[in-house]
Structure 1
């Protein structure tokens, strides 16, 4: 007979079992399913939800609360497509959703999610115990907010790209720690694409670590030996005479961490940072064998040696430190000689070094997203057959990129800065006088009175007639003008008071009485762009002061937001806390998105017939829907920095953001270039650096020069007749000849979610040799770009991908694919190659993008494969294309019978050419033809909009 206690225990157990069974029963709605995961752990996942967005996109949400809190997203478009037909599927221990293209399964016991294609092939799987919730960062007191983490399994041969714009020189992020923190020249975009043809959009606005998400460790976690061989520390020497680096204050140090402004207090007081040199030397010995990843921030000159080999030799402007990553194999048995040399150049310069030891699980077998703060763990899985599909999925989620105004695809001239109205107008006039194509002039910061930052007024002493100046740019010179606008306001000015009375300013910088660097320094702060009312007021101010004067485009600077440069992350959060939506910790990375939103919505409401153009220093998922492009920030004028921009731009493009540019020539310059003017060897190096950068910049989505003194105009870089001048002008004119090609791709970006700056993995992904190639790319479908980024180089190695033959654009010479070889790259030439099957349209010689319609187009057709191209045109400056007012002329080439077909024109728009002439130039393997847009040809087609076919064999 059972005891009473036993009976009660059995009843209680049965109740628990029933409750458990009931709570884990999935909830189904029209978009997906939710599974509950009972747990007494405060920080365990309580619910996991799958939501079907499209046949290829599944949203995964998880929460440590039950029920899951409702959240809204800034990055996700409010115009998502209607969900497709899907079905719920179940097994003994899992439940999922299945569409025509993908399946997603939740383990009912662990909550882990697995993704498969329609046939059941594994695409991606969350790692065991991969979900994690913990108390939020910075001691944030909010029981609705957590630090969140999701780890995924990853095969060792997988390559991972995207994630915005890093400045570490890395391309494939597999195995690395990536810090997604908005910073001057570093852009955090948490969208990942994989060589396995899936993407992950991580919907979170806080600082996020990706990949190997461990926090890097101080050097003291290694076994350190000083210069005498004693274990414990490195020998640090702070010398005030750079010619005698071994004579100075000697310290024993194991932690190099002069990272932020507040850390500079730890610099030895007697060290002359402006003139001295600091060294750290000794030996490093591992506590675990294998490759160690070293993470640095630096400014000034920095060098690093290991066992006598120079690993790092870089420079960056003292006040703007940048990141750097290098690898070093260490072992536990033998110490490695190690030395760091740092020349700060300034009393405000920075250096730090940390490392990550080997950990195969975190680097080879898995990757992780870890974010400081969020109410839910939220991400979107995107499947596709190729990377274009993944980027299309990203834009389905976050919004279409617009067709940029045609003039924006021309050349932009800028410098820091045109100090007077006369300087700006003289610059545009000189371009026109020399017949060098130009579409846009940029007025950088400080055009306002010195004490009135945020007034958006022109200083009348230097710009006596800004409206007349803008009219002259437009009417006399047929160009456009972009104006620098910061979200920054000096205390006390009228615009400051308008924000302040509404409570729409971040006030901590005011409380701190923090002064900026202008004159004696002024106290300022930024507006809270997370507040809808504040965004409207910001637009109202710049509309009244700037847009009504005729300014065409917006340069949004310091949009990280950079309220105080080089402040610690904790201090930066305090300067933008609280936002209108919540804590700065939770919304740290999203500022550039909402700031651009206000300008875009404001201009479209004010003038719905003129396309918005925004250039912003930072970006975030969804910013492409606001007419925004991004530039790579305040970078250095050096060859190694030019090299680094290539993978930075390629990963930015793989993040789904199509419009990117870099300061041609680099922004910051070393003393040898600007005190007072470069001369001798420095002058020739300066000219060559600009030549190579202009060559590269010609084939980036936006073509724009900018930087500090020396002046960046081609006629200030070198005189006419100099190889630098001749090369820069040649590629400028080539860019304008390519305008029918470039603008067609701009249309394709909007209508087909295309990407114009294309890493080789996008088009040749089946060729595994291209996975690590970070210094070559396709500019659209038809131009392989191979930048030259080494001083005095006259050749470079080029890999010619499999699957195509390759023609030298400038000579017509042919090269088989699947090989790597050294190619000629003399001073004036960037190697450019066209794949077989390409159709490359070139227009007439023009001085600005809309000078005249392309009544005659030369089609270069490259034989060896079938090919096609769609010539896109619209009205160029308005949004009528959104209502279908555009045209497409399909052009196809059949290599078998050498037939070119120009198909029926589709669509129409006001001002469309009814007829035009196509001149056909055939380039074949055994009949090379050099680029020359005025070549004579017997193949001339008069086109009236109806399909026409012609045989074009030579």
Structure 2
């Protein structure tokens, strides 16, 4: 009896110890255990922050990515033995106060994610004289649970399970330490130092080189869209881009005079091929000692303001290259150098001479600026504004926003920045430099929306009006294939605007081709370019760019020739889809949607869709299946990087082959997800989902399928995005399911939409009654259409035209 009594006393003491071992806070709980202080904080009912630091260490951190302040969240706290449970109306979070393990589950008890027992590690680290830590946290995922995200990587992989990444910004790699699961949750590891992500049979982990503590956010959205909604709530929402940014863009490395640039726009207008933008790449400033002076100092660009005016006079837009580094003779360099705002890491260009390889007898002296310093960002904008924006430039091509970090030496990471060592904040550099331009332009004017094309990104960058491109890729079929999962995983981190150099950047191999005709006349490159431009038609930005081979449409032939006509066809297709694309853009900004959608986002119940890396949805209605293998020519393997590309060390291709017949019919395999039926975009043939089909193709046909229940607006044939009003749209209805579509319109290139100056017209299709309802127009803005026509068309050919004055109408078909 005495023994039983003693056991009871010990049990009571144990329970008492547990009961007093944590403290409830307004946001959650905090406790100390296993030598660590642990805190759980609700930022919203579906977002929880987890902080762990060695016991007694003060953790003061202002996140560079997170903009959400924790809101008052109603939650319950319960304790059972050593396990404390926090319950909101969205998720349950448990903390085992014996070993510090955190587990996340749904309110119904379904396991979502759990930390590995004893999976938190702090290793003391001297960060340039400041005591810090290598920080590590591991998790346990379900064996067959796909995860996605982690930024942009070039391995051709969609599902990131059983892979390892060194997460550090690079030319063609974008590090975003965030992943989301097919189970409907996401995890953001809020650390900016180089980080190892590892997933294997044992666990899934993040290990960062330096950090004051483990700091991550768990979010449960219930679906991929829900996770992205949470991530944008946490790190910032997406502003609207101007309509013209969704047109076609022409560029190359580089136009060497303002006359050449203006003549390209003129040629497009003469040919009747649509164009909305042209880009001026580097060296308009003159030479490497004046690198990125952000002014027209090159004698071949005698009047930058007139160049912009000449482009505008042809109803096109111009964006211009600016960098994260400055040459020693430039004014920004001189201003920043006096204040200690320049780094000494090795960057590009290394030589003051333009010849390649670099002649280091004449070092350029180019240095990267401290984008973490708000005063440095002020100086940066001062010169960008005075030298370029004041002359009418429409947007920014922010190159080398990683930044370029060549001949990497360990001591480079010891470089002091405004926010600590370069090592500590390395991966957030693109967020800071891009954010600096966005914030300053917004302070300067609200009459022109910020548009930034940038090479690198970090978590939260979606809030800065930036479209990220995939860097200086090689020109090959393998690279084209890899762009699809690269863009999808990037988009799945919550950053929706992404694109790639159409045709690949380094294309020198095709100047040594097997066929008669080189460069743009080489059939190998022609086939690759056409297929890439078809893929680019269904990216958030459609932009042709590269070195070695000019990419303007007239370089490929002339009207009536199959390659020219195929390029022309898809540029025009892009423009007819602008009402759909611009409305999808509003869906991104207003409803946290995504342009490029991995198939599992819309078909999560179809497990076959979970790992498909060569198809995707563009918006919620169009299935895109790019042709990523050559059908007419042999495949050329091109392996280049920045060094070999600039050295022109790409592979030589020998032998002779007969030029192909691009009019010949070929075929491609396409998987149609289950749970819906599909319409062939080109033929209107209806097909069941859940099957793989063989689609007949030609050089001017890429497989495209429209989901049943879709309402698809089709715009007029134009030469630029705003040439014609949308007063006579074709509205295609694809029966088989109920459907809804919201047509969005606004003033096109200012921020008045933030004040409610826009309109929405909702279209609803009732498949049972075969009735289309066009609802009352919502909203208003200056210059909006008061009256218009809609031509309603079914795949069967049945059509009906109706007039619409903003009042609800119903159409029986």
TM beyond 0.5: yes
Distance 1:690 1:721 in 2: 18
Distance 1:521 1:468 in 2: 34
1:185 equivalent in structure 2: 172
Distance 1:667 1:636 in 2: 6
Deviations 1:727-770 (A, max 9, x none): 11111111101111000011111100110110101000110001
1:410 equivalent in structure 2: 247
Distance 1:907 1:68 in 2: 50
2:114 equivalent in structure 1: 125
Structure 2 contact 679–705 (Cα < 8 Å) conserved: yes
Q: Where in structure 2 are the equivalents of 1:378-417 lying within 5 Å?
A: 378-417=215-254
Instruction: Report whether the alignment pairs 1:51 with 2:41.
Output: yes
1:768 equivalent in structure 2: 607
Structure 1 contact 154–364 (Cα < 8 Å) conserved: no
Structure 2 contact 47–217 (Cα < 8 Å) conserved: yes
- Aligned residue pair count: 761
Distance 1:778 1:941 in 2: 30
- Distance verdict in 2 for CA 1:889–1:424, change over 3 Å: same
CA displacement at 1:130 relative to structure 2: 1.2
CA displacement at 1:917 relative to structure 2: 0.8
Instruction: Report whether the alignment pairs 1:432 with 2:269.
Output: yes
1:314 equivalent in structure 2: none
CA displacement at 1:945 relative to structure 2: 1.1
Which runs of structure 1 show a deviation greater than 4 angstroms over 4 or more consecutive aligned residues? Answer: 20-24, 141-144, 674-678
- Distance verdict in 2 for CA 1:48–1:944, change over 3 Å: same
Instruction: Report whether the alignment pairs 1:699 with 2:695.
Output: no
Distance 2:70 2:557 in 1: 53
1:783 equivalent in structure 2: 622
Q: Secondary structure at the match of 1:135?
A: strand
Q: Secondary structure at the match of 1:771?
A: helix
Q: Where in structure 2 are the equivalents of 1:165-184 lying within 5 Å?
A: 165-184=152-171
Instruction: Report whether the alignment pairs 1:875 with 2:714.
Output: no
2:654 equivalent in structure 1: none
Q: Where in structure 2 are the equivalents of 1:660-671 lying within 5 Å?
A: 660-671=498-509
Q: Secondary structure at the match of 1:907?
A: strand
Q: Where in structure 2 are the equivalents of 1:487-886 lying within 5 Å?
A: 487-507=324-344, 509=346, 515=351, 518-519=354-355, 520-564=362-406, 567-568=407-408, 570=410, 572-573=412-413, 577-673=415-511, 679=517, 683-792=522-631, 794-886=666-758
Structure 1 contact 62–376 (Cα < 8 Å) conserved: yes
Structure 1 contact 174–364 (Cα < 8 Å) conserved: no
CA displacement at 1:457 relative to structure 2: 2.1
1:99 paired residue among 88, 100, 105: 88
CA displacement at 1:717 relative to structure 2: 2.2
Distance 1:572 1:786 in 2: 43
Structure 2 contact 284–298 (Cα < 8 Å) conserved: no
CA displacement at 1:493 relative to structure 2: 3.1
CA displacement at 1:145 relative to structure 2: 1.9
- Distance verdict in 2 for CA 1:678–1:370, change over 3 Å: farther
1:897 equivalent in structure 2: 769
Deviations 1:269-289 (A, max 9, x none): xxxxxxxxxxxxxxxxxxxxx
Instruction: Report whether the alignment pairs 1:467 with 2:456.
Output: no
CA displacement at 1:454 relative to structure 2: 2.6
2:790 equivalent in structure 1: 918
Unpaired runs of at least 5, structure 1: 1-13, 40-45, 213-362, 930-936
Q: Secondary structure at the match of 2:588?
A: helix
Distance 1:23 1:372 in 2: 36
2:636 equivalent in structure 1: none
Structure 1 contact 207–588 (Cα < 8 Å) conserved: yes
Distance 1:843 1:947 in 2: 21
Distance 1:719 1:753 in 2: 42
**Which structure would you say has the larger Rg?**
1
Unpaired runs of at least 5, structure 2: 1-9, 356-361, 633-665
Q: Which moved further from structure 2: 88-97 or 939-948?
A: 88-97
Q: Where in structure 2 are the equivalents of 1:207-356 lying within 5 Å?
A: 207-212=194-199
2:50 paired residue among 54, 57, 60: 60
Structure 2 contact 323–400 (Cα < 8 Å) conserved: yes
Distance 2:401 2:718 in 1: 35
CA displacement at 1:21 relative to structure 2: 4.4
CA displacement at 1:144 relative to structure 2: 4.3
Q: Secondary structure at the match of 1:503?
A: coil
Structure 2 contact 124–131 (Cα < 8 Å) conserved: no
2:257 equivalent in structure 1: 420
Q: Secondary structure at the match of 1:634?
A: coil
- Distance verdict in 2 for CA 1:571–1:442, change over 3 Å: farther
CA displacement at 1:211 relative to structure 2: 2.6
Structure 2 contact 165–197 (Cα < 8 Å) conserved: yes
Distance 1:104 1:140 in 2: 33
Distance 2:773 2:113 in 1: 43
Q: Secondary structure at the match of 1:939?
A: strand
2:323 equivalent in structure 1: 486
CA displacement at 1:154 relative to structure 2: 1.1
- Distance verdict in 2 for CA 1:70–1:904, change over 3 Å: same
- Distance verdict in 2 for CA 1:37–1:788, change over 3 Å: same
CA displacement at 1:96 relative to structure 2: 3.0
Q: Secondary structure at the match of 2:780?
A: coil
